[in-house]
Amino acid sequence: MSGLSAGAAHAIAAKFPWRDYSTFADVGAAQGMVPVILARTHPHLRGTGFDLAEVQPVYEEFVASQELFDRVRFVAGDFFATRCRWMTSSHGPYLA
């Protein structure tokens, strides 16, 4: 899945005005390729990946391998069933 999202993640990192934001959330983050590329490209950003709990170990291992664990976190849930109170407008753009 990360191979499929890497190209799009680079385009999102390059084309969106990230200088105007400090945080982001990726809903359906999978391994975390999009949050990792955004955080690596824009060091001022902090991000959250949201996905099913089963994904968390893979996500956290990948983020840690990129040395971004201090700026990129994971929140477990099912966006079809979970009321996402942490997802407010203060978290900046949402990627889904």
pLDDT in tens, the chain (96 residues): 566 788 899 999 999 999 999 999 999 999 999 999 999 999 999 999 999 999 999 999 999 999 999 999 999 988 777 665 555 555 555 555
With residue 61 as reference, give the H or E element that holds it.
helix 56-65
How far is residue 89's CA from residue 64's CA, in Å, rounded to a whole number?
27
**Global pTM value:** 0.83
Q: Output the six-digit token pair for 75.
A: 């929140």
